[in-house]
Structure 1
């Protein structure tokens, strides 16, 4: 009941705050799940992904097309989870990763449409730009997990274990790459993995410039409209 009341309070002036908090909670939960134990990692992670689904649906419900897209993803996610649990089909791991990537990509697209290049720049939009950065890192983390599913030796420092157990490590490597820190504890070996990694680094370099320029241009356009 309390969560339902909080979701009702989400509006176009604070929606990106809730979205950003949900994404940060997802990252933290994946790390804490590893501490709890391997037997519950997948279940904890799936629970938080579902919670993130719900919060994102409430946060971005103002984009009607995205809302229908997300509801479809939720239904497919639940179906894939049931098939995996009941029939123990390992192929469902790839399906769930693909659905998760689609979720992050759709959320990124909807958020970018509301944040970048138009409208009044306010605190909510600035927080939305943070959500975009988190979504970029999460999308690449899923791509790394998909690569590992088909090429377990693609990375040094990333073991070929279930994607739920590897999610936190993949997210860590993704954000280290996105920010071009490059600690070196995890590194790509295969050509495909190397291409994906340096593409993420390129996106990370240009992201800040694009976001800053878009917010500035949107603010200038909004002032010009207000002045006449």
Structure 2
């Protein structure tokens, strides 16, 4: 096993939370103030976030693990795709990103919900998991728009994923939080299913997270009392 960095399970979510927050804010800035080529360059920063994500979730890594080769492959695809500008290559990039974010969300969920006492790191981990769920669905929506489109009304009409993704990141988190502004509306059965399924996940996530934290806190109190007695 090869150890990467000096990150332990007591502080491993800090860098992941920071990198995901910076990524989302950077995508919003590029979408607001810069042209398409600049947005494309900004979205290649996903590659750096993928690598930081690896450090943020697992302390010891084997370079044969999906947590390592998936981000490296995704980085390569993003860089090569930037040069080739081929439509089907875009789809492959998105599929790899989808697999990676789903994989990372699973491992974060295991650490946050099922292991360890309540501390700042676990709270940051719950934020990371929320980010990863939203990003995973954003990629799903982007894939739907590119393959079965028009899958949404009032969304950007383009086949370039780096132009579509900012809108669907916004839409995904609006649905996940069940705010529902209604400015982007799913128009295909599959996208309608994904939208209400994400809303269900958002509601149950909060319920499960709160229950897990309360249960963990109660267990910690019992342990302290038993030690004091």
**TM-score, length-normalised on structure 2?**
0.88
The number of aligned residues is 221
Q: Structure 1, residues 105-164: CA drift from partner, whole Å, max 9, x if none?
A: 111111111111332111110111111111111111000001011122110121232111
Q: Which moved more, 1:55-64 or 1:143-152?
A: 55-64
Question: Which residues of 2 match residues 126-205 of structure 1 at below 5 A?
Answer: 126-161=123-158, 162-205=160-203
5+ residue gaps, structure 1: 1-6
Question: What secondary structure sits across from 1:212 in the alignment?
Answer: helix
Partners of 2:117 and 2:84 in 1: CA distance: 51
Corresponding residue number in structure 1 for 2:116: 119
Partners of 1:88 and 1:119 in 2: CA distance: 45
Runs of 4+ residues over 6 Å off in structure 1:
none
**TM-score, length-normalised on structure 1?**
0.88
Contact 1:152 1:160 in 2 (8 A): no
Question: What secondary structure sits across from 1:116 in the alignment?
Answer: helix
Corresponding residue number in structure 2 for 1:70: 67
Q: Which of 21, 24, 28 is 1:24 aligned to?
A: 21
Q: Which of 208, 213, 216 is 1:215 aligned to?
A: 213
5+ residue gaps, structure 2: none
Contact 1:178 1:200 in 2 (8 A): yes
What is the CA-CA distance between 1:204 and the residue it aligns to?
Answer: 1.0
What is the CA-CA distance between 1:54 and the residue it aligns to?
Answer: 2.1
Partners of 1:192 and 1:80 in 2: CA distance: 27
Partners of 1:67 and 1:216 in 2: CA distance: 37
Question: What secondary structure sits across from 1:52 in the alignment?
Answer: helix
What is the CA-CA distance between 1:29 and the residue it aligns to?
Answer: 1.2
What is the CA-CA distance between 1:225 and the residue it aligns to?
Answer: 4.8
- What is the aligned-residue RMSD (CA, Å)? 2.2
Contact 1:18 1:59 in 2 (8 A): yes
Question: Which residues of 2 match residues 32-111 of structure 1 at below 5 A?
Answer: 32-34=29-31, 35-46=33-44, 48-62=45-59, 64=61, 68-81=65-78, 83-85=80-82, 87-111=84-108
Bigger helix fraction: 1
Contact 2:12 2:59 in 1 (8 A): no
Partners of 1:66 and 1:217 in 2: CA distance: 36
Partners of 1:66 and 1:201 in 2: CA distance: 35
